[in-house]
Amino acid sequence: MKIQCLDHKGSTSNTFLCKINQHTILINCPIETLTIPQPQSQQEQGDALDGQEDDGSNSNDLGSILSTFSAQGKRTADTQYSSLTTSLKNCDHPSVFRVPDFSLIDMDSIDLVLIANSECILGLPFLTEYLGYKGRIIATEPTIEYGKQRMEELVLYHGHNNTSRTEPTVATHFSQLGDLAQPSEGWRSIYTLKDITSCIEKVQPVRYTETLSLFSTLNLVAYSSGYSLGSANWLLETSFKRIAFLSSSSVYANLHPAPFDPDILKDADVVVVGGLSQQSERELSFERAKAKLYVHLARTNQSLHNSVIVAPPMGILFDLIGDIEEYFKSLGKEIGHERHQTPIYVANPIADQSLKYANICGEWMNSGRHDLLYLPQMPLAHGELMNTGAVKTIVSLEASVLSETSIREPCIVFTGDSTCITKGPLMWFLNYYGHSELNTCIFIDPNSPQDIQHDIPVGCKMNLIRLPLDTRLKLEDIPSILHTHWQHLGSNARHLLIPGIKGAELVKEEQSQETQVHIYHQGVVSIDVNRDWERVSVSEKLAKTIDPTMVPNTDGIHFSAWAPINGSLNYYNNRLEIHPSINVKDDQALVLDHKSELRIHTELNATIRRFEEHAIPIHITKDINGVTTIELPSDMNAKIIMNGLSTTVIASDDKVRDLLRRITVTDSREL
Domains and CATH numbers, the chain: 2-278+473-526 (3.60.15.10), 286-466 (3.40.50.10890), 537-664 (no CATH)
State the DSSP string of 219-247: EEEEEE-SSSTT-EEEEEEETTEEEEEE-
Which pLDDT belongs to residue 497?
Answer: 95
Residue 615 burial (10 A CB sphere; 0-12, 13-18, 19+): exposed
State the DSSP string of 36-92: PPPPPPHHHHHHHHHHHHHH-----SHHHHHHT--TTT--BS-TTHHHHHHHHHTSS
Q: Is the pLDDT of residue 230 over 80?
A: yes
Q: Is the pLDDT of residue 314 over 90?
A: yes
Please name which of 275, 115, 314 lies closest in space to residue 200, comparing C-alpha atoms.
115
Residue 264 burial (10 A CB sphere; 0-12, 13-18, 19+): buried
pLDDT digits (tens, 9 = 90+) for 92-122: 557 889 999 998 899 999 999 999 999 999 9
Which pLDDT belongs to residue 145?
Answer: 97
Residue 382 burial (10 A CB sphere; 0-12, 13-18, 19+): buried
For residue 449, whether the previous peptide bond is cis, meaning omega lies within 30 degrees of 0, is: no
Reported as type and span, the H/E element at residue 293 is: helix 286-302
Task: Kindly report which listed range (53-57, 246-250, 310-314, 607-611) carries the lowest average pLDDT score.
Answer: 53-57
Q: Is the pLDDT of residue 37 over 70?
A: no
CB 393 within 8 A of CB 352: yes
- Give the largest CA-CA distance in the chain: 110
Any residues with CB less than 8 A from the CB of 249 and at least 6 apart, and which?
225, 226, 227, 231, 233, 260, 275, 472, 473
Angle at 383 between CA 201 and CA 115, to 5 degrees: 30
Q: Which of 183-197, 210-224, 339-353, 520-534 has the highest mean pLDDT?
A: 339-353
Helix axes 317-330, 286-302, angle to 10 degrees: 60
Please name which of 501, 458, 461 lies closest in space to residue 478, comparing C-alpha atoms.
501
Q: How far apart are CA 214 and CA 191, in angstroms?
A: 30
Helix boundaries (H) for 117-220 = 124-129, 141-158, 193-200
Q: Please count the other Cβ atoms lying within 10 Å of the Cβ belonging to residue 329.
A: 11
Q: Which neighbouring-strand residues pair with 414?
A: 309, 346
Q: Is the pLDDT of residue 523 over 90?
A: no
Reported as type and span, the H/E element at residue 353 is: helix 351-358
pLDDT digits (tens, 9 = 90+) for 317-343: 999 999 999 999 999 999 998 989 999
CA-to-CA dists, residue 5 to 102, 109, 265, 495, 506, angstroms: 11, 17, 21, 16, 21
The region that residue 209 occupies, defined by phi over 0 for left and psi between -120 and 50 for alpha, beta otherwise, is left
Q: How far apart are CA 237 and CA 269, in angstroms?
A: 10
Reported as type and span, the H/E element at residue 137 is: strand 136-140
Helix axes 351-358, 141-158, angle to 10 degrees: 170
Please name which of 471, 472, 416 lies closest in space to residue 13, comparing C-alpha atoms.
472
Which pLDDT belongs to residue 573?
Answer: 65
Q: What is the mean pLDDT of the chain?
A: 81
Which pLDDT band holds residue 124 (cuts at 50, 70, 90)? very high
- The identity of residue 251, as a single letter, is V
Q: How far apart are CA 174 and CA 88, in angstroms?
A: 12
pLDDT digits (tens, 9 = 90+) for 270-280: 999 999 998 88
Q: How far apart are CA 255 and CA 376, in angstroms?
A: 21
| pTM assigned to the model | 0.76
Which pLDDT belongs to residue 602?
Answer: 46
pLDDT digits (tens, 9 = 90+) for 458-517: 889 999 999 999 999 999 999 999 999 987 666 677 899 999 999 899 988 888 888 899
pLDDT digits (tens, 9 = 90+) for 358-375: 999 989 999 888 888 778
Which pLDDT belongs to residue 49?
Answer: 44
Q: Is the pLDDT of residue 170 over 70?
A: no
- 2-5/524-526 β-pairing: antiparallel
Which pLDDT belongs to residue 173?
Answer: 53
